[in-house]
Structure 1
Protein backbone atom coordinates (compact mmCIF):
# COMPACT_ATOMS: atom_id res chain seq x y z
CA UNK A 1 0.00 0.00 0.00
CA UNK A 2 1.06 3.56 -0.57
CA UNK A 3 0.56 6.70 1.42
CA UNK A 4 0.26 9.80 -0.76
CA UNK A 5 -0.49 13.37 0.27
CA UNK A 6 -2.34 15.69 -2.11
CA UNK A 7 -2.38 19.44 -1.46
CA UNK A 8 -5.78 21.01 -2.15
CA UNK A 9 -4.80 24.20 -0.32
CA UNK A 10 -3.88 27.51 -1.99
CA UNK A 11 -0.33 27.57 -0.57
CA UNK A 12 2.55 25.11 -0.47
CA UNK A 13 2.13 22.70 2.43
CA UNK A 14 4.97 20.99 4.33
CA UNK A 15 4.16 17.51 5.63
CA UNK A 16 5.73 15.04 8.06
CA UNK A 17 4.69 11.46 8.84
CA UNK A 18 4.70 8.90 11.64
CA UNK A 19 4.60 5.26 10.54
CA UNK A 20 4.95 1.80 12.10
CA UNK A 21 8.57 0.69 11.73
CA UNK A 22 9.34 -2.05 14.27
CA UNK A 23 12.57 -3.18 12.57
CA UNK A 24 14.36 0.16 12.24
CA UNK A 25 12.94 1.77 15.40
CA UNK A 26 12.68 -1.23 17.74
CA UNK A 27 14.41 0.50 20.65
CA UNK A 28 12.85 3.91 20.04
CA UNK A 29 9.10 3.37 20.17
CA UNK A 30 8.73 1.10 17.10
CA UNK A 31 7.49 4.03 14.98
CA UNK A 32 9.50 5.99 12.41
CA UNK A 33 9.23 9.68 11.56
CA UNK A 34 10.09 11.52 8.33
CA UNK A 35 9.71 14.99 6.94
CA UNK A 36 9.48 17.28 5.06
CA UNK A 37 7.63 17.04 1.79
CA UNK A 38 6.93 20.51 0.39
CA UNK A 39 3.85 20.04 -1.75
CA UNK A 40 2.75 22.90 -4.01
CA UNK A 41 -0.94 23.77 -4.51
CA UNK A 42 -2.56 21.01 -6.56
CA UNK A 43 0.53 18.82 -6.14
CA UNK A 44 0.89 15.37 -4.67
CA UNK A 45 3.73 13.49 -2.96
CA UNK A 46 4.30 9.77 -2.52
CA UNK A 47 5.58 9.57 1.07
CA UNK A 48 5.53 5.91 2.08
CA UNK A 49 5.13 2.31 0.98
CA UNK A 50 3.70 0.34 3.88
CA UNK A 51 1.95 -2.89 4.83
CA UNK A 52 0.00 -1.02 7.50
CA UNK A 53 -3.46 0.42 7.07
CA UNK A 54 -2.84 3.40 9.35
CA UNK A 55 -0.18 6.08 9.59
CA UNK A 56 -0.15 9.62 10.99
CA UNK A 57 0.59 12.97 9.38
CA UNK A 58 1.23 16.54 10.41
CA UNK A 59 1.17 19.36 7.85
CA UNK A 60 1.51 23.12 7.94
CA UNK A 61 1.30 26.06 5.54
CA UNK A 62 3.18 29.38 5.82
CA UNK A 63 -0.03 31.22 6.78
CA UNK A 64 -0.41 29.13 9.97
CA UNK A 65 -2.95 26.63 8.65
CA UNK A 66 -2.34 23.22 10.24
CA UNK A 67 -3.48 19.67 9.58
CA UNK A 68 -3.13 18.12 13.03
CA UNK A 69 -4.98 16.63 15.98
CA UNK A 70 -3.75 17.81 19.36
CA UNK A 71 -5.03 14.51 20.79
CA UNK A 72 -2.96 12.51 18.30
CA UNK A 73 0.50 11.06 18.81
CA UNK A 74 3.21 13.70 19.23
CA UNK A 75 6.44 13.58 17.26
CA UNK A 76 9.72 15.48 17.18
CA UNK A 77 10.32 17.42 13.96
CA UNK A 78 13.29 19.45 12.86
CA UNK A 79 13.31 22.52 10.66
CA UNK A 80 15.30 20.73 7.94
CA UNK A 81 14.56 17.35 6.34
CA UNK A 82 14.69 14.49 8.87
CA UNK A 83 14.30 10.74 9.21
CA UNK A 84 14.18 9.39 12.75
CA UNK A 85 12.18 7.39 15.29
CA UNK A 86 9.31 8.35 17.58
CA UNK A 87 11.32 8.65 20.79
CA UNK A 88 14.33 10.49 19.34
CA UNK A 89 14.48 14.27 19.65
CA UNK A 90 16.97 16.96 20.54
CA UNK A 91 17.15 20.61 21.49
CA UNK A 92 16.74 21.61 17.83
CA UNK A 93 13.46 19.69 17.53
CA UNK A 94 9.95 20.88 18.19
CA UNK A 95 7.00 18.68 19.09
CA UNK A 96 3.86 18.52 16.93
CA UNK A 97 0.71 16.43 17.11
CA UNK A 98 -0.28 14.14 14.27
CA UNK A 99 -3.59 12.96 12.86
CA UNK A 100 -4.39 9.34 12.01
CA UNK A 101 -4.90 8.58 8.30
CA UNK A 102 -5.66 5.50 6.24
CA UNK A 103 -3.20 4.41 3.57
CA UNK A 104 -4.10 5.68 0.11
CA UNK A 105 -4.29 9.33 -0.82
CA UNK A 106 -4.80 11.94 1.87
CA UNK A 107 -6.26 15.23 0.62
CA UNK A 108 -5.21 18.34 2.53
CA UNK A 109 -8.29 20.53 2.14
CA UNK A 110 -8.66 24.24 2.98
CA UNK A 111 -10.07 25.20 6.38
CA UNK A 112 -13.82 25.37 6.77
CA UNK A 113 -15.76 27.37 9.32
CA UNK A 114 -17.22 24.13 10.68
CA UNK A 115 -13.76 22.86 11.56
CA UNK A 116 -12.27 26.11 12.80
CA UNK A 117 -15.31 26.66 15.04
CA UNK A 118 -14.85 23.36 16.84
CA UNK A 119 -13.16 23.41 20.23
CA UNK A 120 -10.10 21.32 21.02
CA UNK A 121 -8.28 19.40 18.39
CA UNK A 122 -10.65 18.26 15.74
CA UNK A 123 -8.75 19.23 12.63
CA UNK A 124 -9.87 16.87 9.97
CA UNK A 125 -12.70 15.12 8.30
CA UNK A 126 -12.00 11.89 6.52
CA UNK A 127 -13.25 11.84 2.97
CA UNK A 128 -11.56 8.69 2.06
CA UNK A 129 -9.63 7.40 -2.45
CA UNK A 130 -7.73 4.42 -3.64
CA UNK A 131 -7.96 2.40 -1.09
CA UNK A 132 -9.96 5.43 -0.10
CA UNK A 133 -8.64 9.07 -0.23
CA UNK A 134 -8.68 10.58 3.15
CA UNK A 135 -9.39 14.26 3.26
CA UNK A 136 -8.23 16.41 6.13
CA UNK A 137 -9.53 19.90 6.58
CA UNK A 138 -7.03 22.44 7.85
CA UNK A 139 -7.54 24.81 10.75
CA UNK A 140 -6.03 28.10 11.77
Structure 2
Protein backbone atom coordinates (compact mmCIF):
# COMPACT_ATOMS: atom_id res chain seq x y z
CA UNK A 1 0.00 0.00 0.00
CA UNK A 2 1.18 3.50 -0.79
CA UNK A 3 0.70 6.09 1.95
CA UNK A 4 -0.15 9.56 0.71
CA UNK A 5 -0.69 12.84 2.57
CA UNK A 6 -2.92 15.61 1.22
CA UNK A 7 -2.58 19.12 2.64
CA UNK A 8 -6.03 20.71 2.99
CA UNK A 9 -4.70 23.06 5.66
CA UNK A 10 -4.08 26.74 4.98
CA UNK A 11 -0.35 26.54 5.65
CA UNK A 12 2.67 24.50 4.49
CA UNK A 13 2.85 21.14 6.30
CA UNK A 14 5.87 18.98 7.14
CA UNK A 15 5.32 15.20 7.51
CA UNK A 16 7.33 12.40 9.12
CA UNK A 17 6.29 8.73 9.08
CA UNK A 18 7.01 5.59 11.10
CA UNK A 19 6.82 2.15 9.52
CA UNK A 20 7.49 -1.54 10.16
CA UNK A 21 11.09 -2.41 9.33
CA UNK A 22 12.04 -5.84 10.75
CA UNK A 23 15.54 -6.11 12.18
CA UNK A 24 16.31 -2.41 12.00
CA UNK A 25 19.95 -1.86 13.00
CA UNK A 26 19.02 -0.49 16.47
CA UNK A 27 17.53 -3.88 17.35
CA UNK A 28 13.91 -2.83 16.90
CA UNK A 29 11.36 -3.58 14.21
CA UNK A 30 10.31 -0.02 13.32
CA UNK A 31 11.91 2.88 11.45
CA UNK A 32 11.02 6.51 10.77
CA UNK A 33 11.77 9.07 8.09
CA UNK A 34 10.96 12.65 7.20
CA UNK A 35 10.50 15.41 6.34
CA UNK A 36 8.20 15.87 3.36
CA UNK A 37 7.20 19.47 2.66
CA UNK A 38 3.62 19.69 1.36
CA UNK A 39 2.26 23.03 0.21
CA UNK A 40 -1.45 23.91 0.71
CA UNK A 41 -3.60 22.09 -1.85
CA UNK A 42 -0.79 19.66 -2.71
CA UNK A 43 -0.17 16.00 -1.81
CA UNK A 44 2.84 13.73 -1.43
CA UNK A 45 3.10 9.95 -1.68
CA UNK A 46 5.71 9.10 0.94
CA UNK A 47 5.79 5.40 1.77
CA UNK A 48 5.19 1.91 0.41
CA UNK A 49 4.34 -0.64 3.11
CA UNK A 50 2.79 -4.10 3.29
CA UNK A 51 2.05 -3.70 7.01
CA UNK A 52 -1.43 -2.58 8.03
CA UNK A 53 0.08 -0.27 10.67
CA UNK A 54 2.15 2.85 10.25
CA UNK A 55 2.47 6.15 12.10
CA UNK A 56 2.85 9.81 11.25
CA UNK A 57 3.50 13.21 12.75
CA UNK A 58 2.78 16.43 10.86
CA UNK A 59 3.44 20.04 11.73
CA UNK A 60 2.30 23.16 9.88
CA UNK A 61 4.26 26.39 9.54
CA UNK A 62 1.48 28.14 11.49
CA UNK A 63 2.02 25.86 14.54
CA UNK A 64 -0.83 23.37 13.97
CA UNK A 65 0.16 19.74 14.37
CA UNK A 66 -1.21 16.21 13.99
CA UNK A 67 0.17 13.87 16.61
CA UNK A 68 -0.51 10.79 18.70
CA UNK A 69 0.81 8.64 21.52
CA UNK A 70 3.73 6.81 19.85
CA UNK A 71 6.70 8.90 20.98
CA UNK A 72 10.04 8.96 19.19
CA UNK A 73 12.84 11.49 18.70
CA UNK A 74 13.12 13.24 15.32
CA UNK A 75 15.60 15.87 14.11
CA UNK A 76 14.71 19.12 12.35
CA UNK A 77 16.57 18.11 9.17
CA UNK A 78 15.80 15.23 6.78
CA UNK A 79 16.29 11.79 8.37
CA UNK A 80 15.91 8.05 7.78
CA UNK A 81 16.44 6.36 11.17
CA UNK A 82 15.49 3.30 13.16
CA UNK A 83 12.73 4.03 15.70
CA UNK A 84 15.01 4.22 18.77
CA UNK A 85 17.74 6.30 17.10
CA UNK A 86 18.19 9.83 18.42
CA UNK A 87 20.63 12.72 18.50
CA UNK A 88 21.26 15.78 20.64
CA UNK A 89 19.40 17.87 18.03
CA UNK A 90 16.27 15.66 18.06
CA UNK A 91 12.91 16.60 19.59
CA UNK A 92 10.44 14.07 20.97
CA UNK A 93 7.19 13.92 18.97
CA UNK A 94 4.13 11.74 19.36
CA UNK A 95 3.22 9.92 16.16
CA UNK A 96 -0.37 8.98 15.34
CA UNK A 97 -1.21 5.36 14.50
CA UNK A 98 -2.68 4.60 11.08
CA UNK A 99 -4.48 1.26 10.64
CA UNK A 100 -5.36 0.11 7.13
CA UNK A 101 -7.45 -2.96 6.39
CA UNK A 102 -8.14 -4.66 3.06
CA UNK A 103 -5.24 -2.92 1.36
CA UNK A 104 -4.26 -4.47 -1.94
CA UNK A 105 -2.17 -3.58 -4.94
CA UNK A 106 -2.12 -0.80 -6.15
CA UNK A 107 -4.11 0.70 -3.29
CA UNK A 108 -3.18 4.14 -1.96
CA UNK A 109 -4.27 5.32 1.47
CA UNK A 110 -4.63 9.09 1.70
CA UNK A 111 -4.38 10.95 4.99
CA UNK A 112 -6.15 14.31 4.71
CA UNK A 113 -4.52 17.00 6.83
CA UNK A 114 -7.25 19.58 7.47
Aligned-pair CA distance for 1:67: 0.3
Query: Which runs of 5 or more structure 1 residues have no equivalent in the other structure?
Result: 110-140
1:14 counterpart residue number: 14
Alpha-carbon distance in 1 for matches of 2:13, 2:27:
28
Going by fraction, where is strand more abundant, 1 or 2?
2
Kept after mapping to 2: 8 A contact 1:28/1:88: no
**Farther off after superposition, 99-108 or 3-12:** 99-108
Alpha-carbon distance in 1 for matches of 2:46, 2:92:
20
1:85 counterpart residue number: 82
SS of the residue corresponding to residue 79 of structure 1 reads: coil
Structure number with greater CO (CA < 8 Å, separation at least 6) is: 2
Alpha-carbon distance in 1 for matches of 2:14, 2:52:
22
2:98 counterpart residue number: 101
The count of corresponding residues between Structure 1 and Structure 2 is 106
Alpha-carbon distance in 2 for matches of 1:3, 1:28:
25
Instruction: Output the TM-score relative to the length of structure 2.
Output: 0.87
Aligned-pair CA distance for 1:90: 1.1
Q: Structure 1 residues 102, 45: closer, same or farther in 2, change over 3 A?
A: farther
Instruction: Output the TM-score relative to the length of structure 1.
Output: 0.72
Query: Which runs of 5 or more structure 2 residues have no equivalent in the other structure?
Result: 101-108
Aligned-pair CA distance for 1:26: 5.2
SS of the residue corresponding to residue 76 of structure 2 reads: coil
1:64 counterpart residue number: 63
